[in-house]
Structure formats: C-alpha cells, structure tokens
C-alpha cells in the first residue's frame, strides 16, 4: 500500500504541516527535523502526490504550446527547444497543433484552461486577442503581435530582409523573386518582405513577389512546397535570384535541378531560418539565420517572469545573421 503524508509524519514524529513545508520548501524547518523527514521519506519510499502539491502551490508545472502546424520545419525545431528549456526548470509542455483552424484553437484553449496549466506560449493567432486575455493566464507570443500586454518574441525580420537584398545585389542579381508571407498584419515576419522590397528598390532591383497559397484538395491534403515553387518559377522564368524560407529554398533547388538551371551561376537562392537541413543540401543553402533556440529560451524565461508577477518588455527582438553557403555567388 502506498505511503501517505500522514505515515511520513508519524514515522518522523512531526506534524503533517511540517512535512508539507519540507516538500514545498516553504517556512522554517530545523536541520534536525529536515533530517528526520528525509529519513522517513526514504524508509517509506514516499512519493508526493503531484496533483495535491500543484493545488497547494496553484501550479501544475505545465505549459501549453499552441502552433499552427507541426509539419512546418520551423515549428518542429521551435517546439523541440521549448520542451528542452521547459524541462530544465521542471516544467512539461502540452502541445496543441491547430492546423490553422480557429475552431480547433478554441477547443484547445478550453482544454488548456480545464487542465489548469500555468501559462501559454502562442505561435498561432486565429482568434481575437480578447479570447487569449480572457483566459487570465500568462501568455507569450512568438512572431505574432496581439497587443502590447502580451509579450512578443521575434527575430530581427527588418535586418533579415535588408541582408538578403544586399547579398543578391552584391552577387550580381538585378531581377529577383520573393516567395513568402506578405499579407498577415499580425504576423511580424511580414516585416522581412517590406524590408526586402525597400532595399531592393534602393539598389535598383526589380522584385516579383508572391505569397504561397496552401489550398487543400478534396482529401484535405495541402499543395506541396515543391508544387508551389515549381508553379511560381515557371511563371517567372527570367528571375536571377530568390528570397524565401528554407523549405521553399530547398524546393527551389530541386526545381532548378529538374530544369538544368545551375546554382549559383544561373540562379541564386537565399533562405530564412537556417534550419538543420540548410547546410546538408546540395548545394547548401545561403540563409538568414534566426536564433530559434534563443526564441524558445526567451519565451520560457518571459513566461516564468509573468507567472512570478514580474514586468516583461512588450517586445524582444533577437539578432539575425547572413550565413553564406553554395546557393549564392560569394565574393
């Protein structure tokens, strides 16, 4: 039969309140009493009831993580790092994959609330901001601006756009493409396109920009990255370079190989993120590296500060850098 806190108190010759203070590290307990309790716990092989402890401390040591799609490489890496940094401080994560569905996100929010989680890291935003605020839980957002009361963690998308434009210009491109997010005002990654276009205009580069349209077929399957990039490049055959995200950059390499287009002499490609596969492709992908691990670490850190009632800056913008590889001409 499993030992109870009363059994420990009886064996140690102390009160249940003393055991509770010991387990939760709250209140004064003498060294002698601590040693008695420790010995009693060891002898009885006592395992604290985590649910009871959570109710006592009003914590479940659980964080909800809401993402739009786990199949997107960026979110897969992000979740991996979030789980790592959460576990370092004794927290678990509850992953919610919405597939861009507002109904599914509502259901997940209700589920998280019922599980009495301690806070939410949000990388999806299909609902009005009032819905998140009504939860009365600490919330930190990644790449999605909701309002100034919900801390935002992102990379320096403006600098990323500038670095990509400069690199393509310096490498000899004069007509370039942008294939990525452009129209979502709440998603701050659209800033990278605005910056890219601004600096291309300054350098005299012509830009052909489109946003991928991930439409589902009758079976619910979305168009593949390869299909989307293949159609985009087929419509704009005179492009000399492309700025996009790493997975679409990888697809662009495949399309170029299919059509006998040599990289980087005939066509140059710059990605964004520096995901794990970017240096393993052939040719390897020149990319704007954003610190995904730091985004995750800051999200956990800021969420913990909110849980402790501390003030947190409304925006945290992390630096990016250009990583030159084989998909561009490097002078």
**Domain CATH for 16:** 1.10.260.40
> What are phi and psi for residue 324, nearest 5 degrees?
-85, 125
Identify whether 323 is part of a domain. Answer: no
Boundary of a domain, candidates 14, 31, 55: 55
- Count of domains forming the chain: 3
**pLDDT tens digits along 245-291:** 999 999 999 999 999 999 999 999 999 999 999 999 999 999 999 99
Distance CA 284, CA 271 (A): 10
Which pLDDT belongs to residue 17? 82
Identify whether 326 is part of a domain. Answer: no
Confidence category of residue 219, pLDDT binned at 50, 70, 90 = very low
Which pLDDT belongs to residue 58? 57
Identify whether 327 is part of a domain. Answer: no
Determine the Cα angle at 250 with ends 247 and 254, to 5°: 140
- Sign of torsion over alpha carbons 193, 194, 200, 203: negative
Which pLDDT belongs to residue 220? 47
Which pLDDT belongs to residue 216? 56
Which pLDDT belongs to residue 1? 67
Identify whether 9 is part of a domain. Answer: yes
Identify whether 118 is part of a domain. Answer: yes
Report the chain's terminal Cα–Cα distance, integer Å.
73
Element (H, E) at 73: helix 73-88
Distance CA 324, CA 331 (A): 10
Same-domain pairing of 194 and 133: no
Which pLDDT belongs to residue 222? 57
Same-domain pairing of 163 and 245: yes
**pLDDT tens digits along 11-25:** 999 988 888 778 776
- Sign of torsion over alpha carbons 181, 183, 187, 191: positive
Same-domain pairing of 149 and 161: no
Residue 65 three-state SS = strand
Which pLDDT belongs to residue 218? 42
Same-domain pairing of 120 and 183: no
Identify whether 168 is part of a domain. Answer: yes
Same-domain pairing of 47 and 66: no
Same-domain pairing of 150 and 163: no
**pLDDT tens digits along 124-174:** 878 888 888 888 899 999 999 999 999 999 999 999 999 999 999 999 999
- Supply the CATH number for residue 204's domain: 3.40.50.2300
Same-domain pairing of 145 and 214: no
- Domain of 299? 62-154+293-318
Indicate the average pLDDT of the chain: 90
Calculate what percentage of the chain has a pLDDT beyond 90.
Answer: 67
Identify whether 312 is part of a domain. Answer: yes
State the average pLDDT over residues 237-243.
Answer: 96
Same-domain pairing of 48 and 15: yes
**pLDDT tens digits along 39-83:** 998 888 887 665 444 444 557 899 999 999 998 999 999 999 999
Same-domain pairing of 185 and 206: yes
Same-domain pairing of 12 and 94: no
Which pLDDT belongs to residue 63? 96
Confidence category of residue 223, pLDDT binned at 50, 70, 90 = low
pTM of the model: 0.80
């Amino acid at each position: 039969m499993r030992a109870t806190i009363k059994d420990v108190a009886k064996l140690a010759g102390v009160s249940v309140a003393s055991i509770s203070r010991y387990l939760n590290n709250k209140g004064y307990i003498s060294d002698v009493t601590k040693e008695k309790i420790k010995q009693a716990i060891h002898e009885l092989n006592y395992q604290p009831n985590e649910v009871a402890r959570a109710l006592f401390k009003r914590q479940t040591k659980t964080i909800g993580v809401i993402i739009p799609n786990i199949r997107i490489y960026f979110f897969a890496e992000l979740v991996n790092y979030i789980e790592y940094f959460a576990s370092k401080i004794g927290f678990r994560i509850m992953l919610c994959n919405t597939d861009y569905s507002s109904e599914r996100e509502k259901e997940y929010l209700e589920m998280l609330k019922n599980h009495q989680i301690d806070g939410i890291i949000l990388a999806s935003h299909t609902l009005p901001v009032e819905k998140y605020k009504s939860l009365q839980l600490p919330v930190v957002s990644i790449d999605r601006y909701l309002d100034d009361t919900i801390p935002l963690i992102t990379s320096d998308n403006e600098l990323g756009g500038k670095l990509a434009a400069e690199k393509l210009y310096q490498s000899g491109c004069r007509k370039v493409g942008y294939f990525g997010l452009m129209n979502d005002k709440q998603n701050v990654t659209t800033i990278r396109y605005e910056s890219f276009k601004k600096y291309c205009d300054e350098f005299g580069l012509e830009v052909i920009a489109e946003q991928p349209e991930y439409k589902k077929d009758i079976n619910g399957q979305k168009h593949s990255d390869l299909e989307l990039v293949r159609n985009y490049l087929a419509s704009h055959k005179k492009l000399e370079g492309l700025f996009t995200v790493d997975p679409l950059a990888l697809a662009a390499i495949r399309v170029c190989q299919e059509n006998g287009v040599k990289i980087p002499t005939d066509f140059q490609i710059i990605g964004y993120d520096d995901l794990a596969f970017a240096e393993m492709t052939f040719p390897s992908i020149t990319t704007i590296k954003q610190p995904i691990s730091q985004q995750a670490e800051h999200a956990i850190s800021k969420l913990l500060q909110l849980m402790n009632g501390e003030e947190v800056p409304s925006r945290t913008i992390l630096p990016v850098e250009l990583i030159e590889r084989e998909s561009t001409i490097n002078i």
